[in-house]
Structure 1
Amino acid sequence: MEIPVPSVMKQKPAWLRELFPWEQKTLRVNGRNMAYLDEGSRGARPVLLLHGNPTWGFLYRDFLDPLVKAGYRAVVPDWIGSGYSDHPRVDAALTLAHHIADLVSLIDQLDLRGFVIVGQDWGGPQGVGAALQRLDRLAALVLMNTWLYTDYVGKFHQSPLPWTTWHAPLIGQLLMKRFKVLSHAGPSAITRRGMTDAQKRGYHHVFDEPDSDHVVLTWPRTIPLREGDRGWADMTMIQRRLPELARTPTLLLWAPEDAVFPIEYANRLKELMPHAEGPILFERASHFLQDDRGPDLVAAIIPFLNSAAGNRV
């Protein structure tokens, strides 16, 4: 298979290069540009590092060098609508099914074989959803503060504030798009370790352009809470097919202080995937545990991958 030659993304701002020095690349996926990092030997096992809302590849900056030094290939996409990927202004272009199809396209175009999915938040269902379309190429899974099912709904997703307020037709648009309560105050608002101004800006600047953050509102509105909701059929399909992953080495890493996906979500995943190792708990971390405890997380991931799959394909 001929591997496409990716073009290089526009130059990152100078202030970001010290925090995020890796070369941003891009491929066309389903008619849109998906930005990604691709570090390490092409012959090494690919590890797909998948973020959620409202972050981008910057979330995994502590993972790249350790994985590459351990002999792995780190591939870090920005989901369409986020980071340095295209930011469609059409809500219907940012569904769960679209994100899954976009990742399948990236996997196919880069001809990734024996790959590992590392997913948190939306990186879980979108990553596993894509992996289920390419099971013959999947080597292992690492899941962190995420979910893959419709039969458990925690307190956060039933709460009037902030959850149902975000979904309100008028006030949700006002909060998310005018005041940018998530895109400009997500990771920095709940950090456990604290962030410098530059780190806060690193997360938020990709949504500085007006009307560039449709995905930040679409993702919450795509979480299926009842039959008929957007994303219900896709998530039901993922849950139904989880038994097909019974022979796939799986590791659960969890921040129990996360209000969005607390430990009950890990317990339900463990029931559905009893072969999974863990959950290994990481205190002093919240929803964005990769930022709070990045070096510790990757230090747990590498031995698991060495044992479960090895760093060569």
Structure 2
Amino acid sequence: MKILRTPEEAFAEIPDYPFAPKYLSVAAGDGADIRIHYVDEGPNDADPVLLMHGEPSWSYLYRKFTPFLAGKGHRVLAPDLIGFGKSDKPDSRADYTYENHVAWMSDWLTSLDLSNITLFCQDWGGLIGLRLVAAFPDRFARVVIANTGLPTGTGMNDGFREWLQISQTVDPFPVGTIVNMGCVRSLSQEEIAAYEAPFPDERYKEGARQFPMLVPVTPEHASVAENIETWKVLECFDKPVLTCFSDRDPVTKDGEQAFIERIPGAAGQPHRIIEQAGHFLQEDRPEELCQIIDTFIRS
């Protein structure tokens, strides 16, 4: 596995991202190691809030969540998935598989020995994060699920079909513009540049290109069986589960219903539809979501 690493100077001008970088190396799967970057702020002895991003963003997405939640006394961890942010980036699309991502993040989670976790997950942060919940249910205290899914090969909606087609044909792959298109508000040029920063050139974007192809929306996709098994665990998960989907995301519209109907811990919770928010609701409504997370933990 050939691995690319974004030079640190690429992040020198990132606005509103003052967090000291933390790194942990896990097994890459070929005898080598691969490095995961993560933010770790707030009291080290407090219960962790794990913020998991998706495609094609990175932990910059949680730059407003981190100081708010740390200021409320929580330990806040926001990892960059392999292929994104300050984490290492394999240069071959073949190295990016759903199961590799689950294995890498499982090793990260267990190496840090996190427990009593509150998970907030969106997009691929949900596809991977919910697999972690199923693999290590005793480590999680509660889950907030936002604009994501856990597909098992039963098809896709028009919004995802359009995104899949765009992701495989657009050239170059405009990461910052894609994030901006997934928001209701218009990001500043500095914010758009921050989303582009991890990718000095197209070689670094193989993960961003490949992720849409990995969503198991047909029976022939890899990881269908693993997601079916994950649902079996989630259908017995009785710890609190809250959904916070947005009102203006064509990709995950109505996706909260499966979680509300199938996970016991979702029963009776104050599920929310976040108004005037797009796919990247963290950019559109950060203060509202932070308050929801903090209230959910304290309740």
Does TM, normalized by the shorter one, top 0.5?
yes
SS at match of 1:76: strand
Match of 1:59 in 2: 61
Of 44, 47, 64, the match for 2:46: 44
SS at match of 2:186: coil
Query: Mind listing any 5+ residue stretches in structure 1 that lack a counterpart?
Result: 1-8, 167-171, 308-313
Match of 1:169 in 2: none
Say if 2:258 is the partner of 1:295. Answer: no
Say if 2:22 is the partner of 1:25. Answer: yes
Output the aligned Cα RMSD.
Answer: 1.8
1:169-188 paired onto structure 2 within 5 Å? 172=168, 174-175=169-170, 178-181=171-174, 183-188=175-180
* Deviation string, structure 1 residues 284-307 (Cα, Å, up to 9, x no partner): 110000011111111111010112
The letter for the 1-side match of 2:74 is: Y
What TM-score does the superposition give when structure 1 sets the normalisation length? 0.86
Preserved CA contact (<8 Å) 2:184 2:277: yes
SS at match of 1:20: coil
Preserved CA contact (<8 Å) 2:141 2:240: yes
Match of 1:95 in 2: 97
SS at match of 1:187: helix
Preserved CA contact (<8 Å) 1:125 1:238: no
Distance 1:220 1:125 in 2: 12
Distance 2:20 2:166 in 1: 38
Q: How far did 1:104 drift?
A: 1.3
Preserved CA contact (<8 Å) 2:151 2:216: no
Q: How far did 1:240 drift?
A: 2.5
What TM-score does the superposition give when structure 2 sets the normalisation length? 0.90
Preserved CA contact (<8 Å) 2:121 2:146: yes
SS at match of 1:290: helix
Question: Percent of pairs identical after alignment?
Answer: 28
Match of 1:269 in 2: 259
Say if 2:243 is the partner of 1:252. Answer: yes
The letter for the 1-side match of 2:149 is: W
Distance 1:47 1:33 in 2: 21
Aligned positions, number: 285
Query: Mind listing any 5+ residue stretches in structure 2 that lack a counterpart?
Result: 1-6, 28-32
Q: How far did 1:216 drift?
A: 1.1
Distance 1:134 1:211 in 2: 34
Say if 2:231 is the partner of 1:239. Answer: yes
Preserved CA contact (<8 Å) 2:50 2:118: yes
